[in-house]
Amino acid sequence: MISLIIPVYNEAESLETLHGEILEVASKHGLEVEIVFVDDGSADGSWNRIKGLAAIHANTRGLRFRGNFGKAAALMAGFQAAKGEIFITLDADLQDDPGEIPNFLQKLATGGPPADGLPGSPLDVVSGWKKVRHDPWHKVFPSKIFNWMVSAMTGVRLHDHNCGMKAYRANIFQEVRLYGELHRFIPVLAAARGFKIGELVIQHRARKFGFSKYGVRRFLKGFLDLLTVKFLTGFGQRPQHLLGGLGLLSFLGGSAGLAYLAVTWVIRLWHPDWFPALHDRPLLIYAAATLLLGAQMMSIGFLAELVTAYQGKASDSFSIQEATSEQMNR
C-alpha cells in the first residue's frame, strides 16, 4: 500500500480536486493507496471537506489538530497514522501533480546508480525537484539561495530541499524524528543515518487557490533550522568536538594575548618607554574576554556531553540495513 500524507492549512477549495486526481492516478496504474489528510488548524471549512471525502472513500482518513502546530507536526502525525510501506507527501494546494506518483515509485525502486550490472539500485528517499517554477521571483530567489546553503553545509546535494512532494520508505521514520520546522530537512536527517537519497524532476503547476507561505521570514527561520540540523547530524553524539574545539581555540588565543602582555609588562620594568601601560592597551580586554569565552564554551561542551551520556534519547548512533537470520536471533 502507498500512503499519501497531505498537510492541510486553509485549502478547502482544492481538496476535492486533489482527491479526485489521486484516485484517478491510482486507478489508472493499479495502485493501492490510502490518503491521510492532516488538518493543521484550518479555519476555512477544510475539515468538513475532509470528512466528506472520508465518507465516500474507505481509504481516505483525516486527522484534525486543535490548533496550528506547523507542517512538521502535521507530517509526523500523518506518518504515525499511515499504514503503507511507502509514504508520499504532497501539498494540498494543487501545485504538486499526483500524476508524478508512479514516477516516484519507479525512482525509489531503481533510481540509484547502476550496480552489479543492474539498471539501478533502490533508494530510500526521493525528493521532488521543481525545475520549472510557477511562483513569483521573490519566492523563488530566497528558495534557490536556501537550497544552495543546505547542499553546501550538509553535503546532501539536492536542487529543491523545499519541495513538498517527496517519497520515503516507511522504515525511515523509525529512526528520524521531526519537530519544529525540520520537515524540509528529512533527506538530510535520513542521509545522516545512512539512507540513500535521490531526486526526481517533477511538474510544478501554477497556483489556483490561496497564497504561497514561503518568503523571507521563513528563509530566516530555515537558516536557523539549518544550523540546528548541521549540529544534530554532525555533532549530536559528540557536542564537545564542536563546542570544546571552538572553546579551546578561543582559550589558547586569549592565553597567548595575556602571555604577550605579561612579557611586555616585565620589559617595561627596565624600559618604560618601550610599551604603553597595560591599562592603556585594548588587547588586555580582548585577550581576557577571549580566554573567558573559551573557558565557558569548553564548560558548556562538558555539560552537553554529560546530558548526551545520561539524559539523551535511547537511540543508537548507527543504522542497520539488514542482518542474517542467525544474527537476528541472538
Three cell numbers at 10?
A: 486553509
The domain limits of the chain are: 2-235, 239-311
Q: Which of 286, 197, 225, 206 lies closest to 250, judged by CA?
A: 286
- Report the relative pairing of strands 33-39 and 197-201 from DSSP bridges: unpaired
Three cell numbers at 32?
A: 493501492
What is the C-alpha to C-alpha distance for residues 193 and 39, in angstroms, rounded to an integer? 30
3 state SS of 212 = coil
pLDDT average, residue stretch 77-89: 93
What is the C-alpha to C-alpha distance for residues 147 and 157, in angstroms, rounded to an integer? 9
For residue 138, name the pLDDT band (cuts at 50, 70, 90): low
3 state SS of 179 = coil
Give burial (CB, 10 Å; 0-12/13-18/19+) of 195: buried
Digit-coded pLDDT (tens) for 180-239: 677 888 999 899 888 999 999 998 887 776 555 555 566 577 777 777 777 777 666 677
**DSSP of 93-159:** SS-B-GGGHHHHHHHHHH-S--BTTBS----SEEEEE-SS--S-HHHHHHHHHHHHHHHHHHS---S
What is the C-alpha to C-alpha distance for residues 199 and 175, in angstroms, rounded to an integer? 21
For residue 18, name the pLDDT band (cuts at 50, 70, 90): very high
Residue 171 DSSP label: G
pLDDT higher than 60, residue 329: no
The single-letter code of the amino acid at 330 is R
Q: What is the pLDDT of residue 112?
A: 59
**DSSP of 251-289:** HHHHHHHHHHHHHHHHHHTT-TTTS--GGG-HHHHHHHH
What is the C-alpha to C-alpha distance for residues 117 and 122, in angstroms, rounded to an integer? 14
pLDDT above 90 covers a percentage of the chain that reads 40
Q: What is the pLDDT of residue 137?
A: 66
The single-letter code of the amino acid at 258 is L
Task: Decide if 183 contacts 71 (C-beta within 8 A).
Answer: yes
pLDDT above 70 covers a percentage of the chain that reads 84
Instruction: Number of helices (H) and strands (E) in the chain: give both, helices first.
Output: 10, 7
Task: Decide if 43 contacts 65 (C-beta within 8 A).
Answer: no
Backbone angles phi, psi at 6, to 5 degrees: -125, 105
Digit-coded pLDDT (tens) for 267-282: 888 888 888 888 788 8
| Domain 2-235: CATH architecture, name and number where available | Alpha-Beta Complex (3.90)
Task: Decide if 3 contacts 37 (C-beta within 8 A).
Answer: no
